[in-house]
């Protein structure tokens, strides 16, 4: 394979030469830097690279060019290299053009001229974008290859684990990919042993593995390094990741645990567009990748998949019971296990979960439904983000909502994007009555709530986002919750009927402290949470300050 390509497009020869010079000085060992003097030339060069099987990692295009503006070049490049990072090069006065390109060309970043010094204004941005591209891109013949059946719940579980843990892999459907059967025959893998995971280092094939087996083979730590921690964080969503970053940076011996993968529900979002500091938006996986790398660089341990099943109090120490029977001892605990998607009660859904019915998982399964019809059930932001991502692949995406519209439950920016996307429809006042299919989803019955009429329609998949419930069942009864299971903290805790019976300290509980001293809650698990990534990150960082206060009192 040739080196991946960085392509620069600019009609000004001096600017083109300057950008090529700077990029070559920094990236020539790992990338080939190419230039094009017009949008047409750039698109033609991309088609030629594609025909040769070469990779395009990034395209940087000037905005103001004759014949074709930079934003148009970047938009058209998506059809050729959908994973390539797109950067617009603008004059300071062209910020409006950059904002427009973010909306229309799905721009990843924009750079203002001049970019001197490149060590401060060019290379850091390009480094981040290339890190993200490398995390998503995998050469055809290299890396992990997962062979299985598209309609197998076991195959879906491994795909979802790999994708959620930001591990690049290539998926091969045994019924559709020619390479799949050749791999199985060469390794002597029977169809009854699928899914099978192939490695490029010659190690034995993993047959029908569970996520823990995959983690162990990939060398992921599943055993705590110390006997005692200052802060144990259960749940690696935005709140848990923020606490891990701040806890490790402020000198606390910190461990972060998650039963599945970092990022939580936010980590599976295809695009978060209202998070501060990311004008082009940021995918949940990209935000997660940056956060987990930051936490580990600062010294936090991360253990996954490792489920916490219980918590007991032993004097000033907290003992976390893990699903494999081990215990982890810590002085403070942050519960940030977030939410679980609510199970849909319609007949047929439980039987076909993982075989065309998916809770979340739009980013994991979207590519498998190219040119097919899929339904998204739910009207919140998660459903809207999933629909936008699925629309890049599916022939038709239909959003099914019980309400008479989306405005009460979805952010305006998402509603506007959905309205502009030709292959997305919204069906209001409707619900899923049942799902049918022979081993996988083939038909869905939809009921109109206004007149009760039910229609049976062809569909290839259902992606369900119908609300969530807090995952607080692992906490002991001493941790007080509201009627819906959300954990009470701080002043909300003091208003609870059982507060006087459970709280034995001479002080008031700290702001995010639960009814058990030294046990904190943050993020969506907490009663009164704002259900936004930014607020969860704020709460997670606050917990570290509160943990310091608690430790100073004990």
Query: Rounded distance, CA 428 to CA 406, Å?
Result: 8
Q: What per-residue confidence (pLDDT) applies to 51? A: 81
Q: What per-residue confidence (pLDDT) applies to 96? A: 76
Q: Name the band, by pLDDT with cuts 50, 70 and 90, for residue 201.
A: confident
pLDDT exceeds cutoff 70 at 139:
no
Q: What per-residue confidence (pLDDT) applies to 467? A: 75
Q: With beta carbons less than 8 A apart as the criterion, state whether 123 and 26 touch.
A: yes
- Which runs of consecutive H residues, i.e. helices, occur in 175-263? 178-187, 211-217, 238-249
Q: What per-residue confidence (pLDDT) applies to 112? A: 82
Q: What whole-number percentage of the chain has pLDDT above 90?
A: 76
56-62 vs 5-9, strand pairing mode: parallel
Distance of CA 36 to the CA centre of its chain: 34
22: its two tokens: 């700077």
Asked if the bond preceding 462 is cis, omega within 30° of 0, the reply is: no
3-state secondary structure 42-111: HHHHHHHHHHHCCCEEEEEEECCCCCCCHHHHHHHHCCCCCCCEEEEEECHHHHHHHHHHHHHCCCCEEE
Range 279-282, long-range pairs (CB < 8 A, 24+ positions): 279/98, 279/99, 279/102, 279/110, 280/102, 280/107, 280/108, 280/109, 280/110, 281/102
Which positions ≥6 away from 308 have C-beta within 8 Å? Answer: 234, 257, 259, 320, 321, 322, 323, 337, 474
Q: What per-residue confidence (pLDDT) applies to 102? A: 76
Q: What per-residue confidence (pLDDT) applies to 553? A: 92
Query: Rounded distance, CA 359 to CA 383, Å?
Result: 10
Q: What is the pLDDT of residues 399-453, one digit of tens each?
A: 999 999 999 999 998 999 999 999 999 999 999 999 999 999 999 999 999 999 9
pLDDT exceeds cutoff 70 at 147:
yes
Query: Rounded distance, CA 87 to CA 84, Å?
Result: 10
Which positions ≥6 away from 71 have C-beta within 8 Å? Answer: 63, 88, 97, 100, 101, 104, 105, 107
Three-class secondary structure of residue 545 per DSSP: helix
- Which runs of consecutive H residues, i.e. helices, occur in 358-449? 362-365, 381-390, 412-420
pLDDT exceeds cutoff 90 at 138:
no
φ/ψ (deg, to 5) at 432: -80, 125
Q: What is the pLDDT of residues 262-293, one digit of tens each?
A: 999 898 888 888 889 888 888 888 899 999 99
Q: What is the pLDDT of residues 331-371, one digit of tens each?
A: 999 999 999 988 999 999 999 999 999 998 888 999 999 99
From residue 266, alpha-carbon distances to 133, 278, 426 in Å are 19, 15, 23
Q: Name the band, by pLDDT with cuts 50, 70 and 90, for residue 136.
A: confident
From residue 170, alpha-carbon distances to 147, 159, 179, 310, 390 in Å are 9, 9, 11, 36, 19
Query: Rounded distance, CA 446 to CA 322, Å?
Result: 42
Averaged pLDDT for residues 141-145: 71
∠ at Cα 304 (300, 309), nearest 5°? 105
Which positions ≥6 away from 88 have C-beta within 8 Å? Answer: 60, 61, 62, 63, 70, 71, 74, 97, 98, 101, 105, 107, 109, 110, 111
Three-class secondary structure of residue 494 per DSSP: helix
Query: Rounded distance, CA 279 to CA 273, Å?
Result: 7
Q: What per-residue confidence (pLDDT) applies to 308? A: 98
pLDDT exceeds cutoff 90 at 230:
yes
E strand or H helix at 543: helix 533-553
Query: Helix %, strand %, coil % for the chain, to 5?
Result: 35, 25, 40
Query: Rounded distance, CA 129 to CA 135, Å?
Result: 10
Q: What per-residue confidence (pLDDT) applies to 141? A: 44
- 335, 461, 478, 299: which is closest to 386 by C-alpha? 461
Q: What per-residue confidence (pLDDT) applies to 200? A: 79
Range 86-89, long-range pairs (CB < 8 A, 24+ positions): 86/58, 86/59, 86/61, 87/58, 87/59, 87/60, 87/61, 87/111, 87/125, 87/126, 87/129, 88/60, 88/61, 88/62, 88/63, 89/10, 89/15, 89/19, 89/60, 89/61, 89/62, 89/63, 89/113
Q: What is the pLDDT of residues 62-100, one digit of tens each?
A: 988 998 999 999 999 988 998 899 999 887 656 777 777
- 178, 160, 179, 177: which is closest to 169 by C-alpha? 160
Q: What per-residue confidence (pLDDT) applies to 142? A: 56
Query: Rounded distance, CA 180 to CA 84, Å?
Result: 26
Q: With beta carbons less than 8 A apart as the criterion, state whether 266 and 382 touch.
A: no
> Which residue in the block uniquely carries the two structure tokens 């509160």?
546
Q: What per-residue confidence (pLDDT) applies to 543? A: 98
353: its two tokens: 């979960």
Q: What is the pLDDT of residues 295-338, one digit of tens each?
A: 999 999 999 999 999 999 998 899 999 999 999 999 999 999 99
pTM equals 0.85
For the chain, list the domains and their CATH numbers.
5-136 (3.40.50.2300), 144-207 (3.40.30.10), 228-340+470-553 (3.50.50.60), 357-466 (3.50.50.60)
């Amino acid at each position: 394979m040739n080196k991946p390509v960085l392509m620069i497009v600019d009609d000004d020869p001096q600017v083109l030469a300057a950008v090529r010079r700077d990029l070559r000085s920094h990236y020539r060992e790992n990338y080939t830097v190419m230039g094009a003097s017009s949008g047409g030339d750039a698109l033609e060069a991309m088609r030629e690279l594609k025909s040769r099987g070469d990779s395009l990692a990034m395209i940087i295009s000037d905005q103001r060019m004759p014949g074709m503006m930079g934003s148009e070049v970047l938009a058209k490049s998506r059809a050729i290299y959908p994973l390539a990072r797109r950067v617009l090069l603008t004059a300071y006065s062209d910020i409006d053009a950059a904002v427009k390109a973010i909306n229309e060309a799905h721009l990843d970043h924009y750079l203002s001229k001049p970019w001197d010094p490149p060590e401060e204004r060019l290379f850091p941005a390009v480094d981040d974008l290339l890190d993200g591209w490398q995390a998503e891109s995998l050469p055809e013949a290299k890396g992990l290859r997962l062979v299985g059946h598209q309609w197998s719940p076991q195959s879906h579980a491994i795909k979802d684990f790999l994708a959620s843990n930001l591990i690049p892999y290539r998926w091969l459907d045994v019924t559709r990919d020619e390479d799949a059967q050749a791999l199985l025959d060469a390794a002597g893998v029977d169809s009854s042993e699928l899914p099978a995971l192939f490695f490029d280092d010659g190690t034995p094939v993993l047959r029908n593995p569970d996520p823990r087996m995959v983690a162990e083979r990939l060398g992921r730590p599943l055993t705590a390094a110390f006997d005692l921690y200052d802060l144990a964080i259960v749940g690696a969503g935005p709140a848990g990741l923020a606490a891990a970053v701040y806890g490790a940076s402020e000198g606390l011996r910190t461990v972060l645990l998650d039963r599945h993968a970092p990022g939580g529900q936010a980590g599976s979002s295809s695009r978060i567009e209202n998070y501060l500091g990311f004008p082009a938006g940021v995918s949940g996986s990209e935000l997660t990748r940056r956060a987990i790398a930051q936490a580990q660089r600062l010294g936090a341990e991360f253990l996954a998949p490792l489920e916490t099943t219980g918590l007991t109090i032993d004097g000033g120490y907290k003992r976390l019971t893990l699903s494999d029977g081990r215990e982890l001892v810590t002085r403070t605990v942050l519960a940030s296990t977030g939410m679980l998607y609510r199970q849909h009660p319609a007949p047929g859904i439980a039987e076909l979960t993982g075989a065309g019915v998916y809770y979340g998982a739009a980013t994991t399964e979207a590519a498998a439904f190219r040119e097919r019809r899929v339904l998204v059930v739910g009207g919140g932001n998660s459903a809207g983000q999933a629909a936008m991502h699925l629309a890049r692949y599916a022939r038709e995406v239909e959003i099914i909502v019980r309400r008479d519209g989306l405005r009460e439950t979805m952010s305006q920016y998402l509603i506007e994007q959905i309205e502009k996307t030709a292959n997305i429809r919204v069906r209001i006042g409707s619900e899923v009555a049942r799902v049918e299919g022979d081993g996988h989803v083939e038909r869905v019955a939809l009921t109109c709530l206004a007149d009760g009429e039910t229609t049976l329609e062809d569909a290839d998949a259902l992606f369900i986002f119908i609300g969530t419930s807090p995952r607080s069942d692992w906490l002991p009864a001493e941790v007080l919750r509201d009627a819906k299971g959300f954990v009470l903290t701080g002043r909300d805790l003091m208003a609870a009927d059982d507060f006087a019976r459970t709280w034995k300290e001479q002080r008031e509980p700290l702001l995010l402290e639960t009814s058990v001293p030294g046990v904190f809650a943050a993020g969506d698990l907490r009663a009164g949470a704002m259900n936004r990534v930014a607020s969860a990150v704020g709460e997670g960082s606050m917990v570290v300050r509160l943990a310091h206060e608690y430790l100073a009192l004990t």
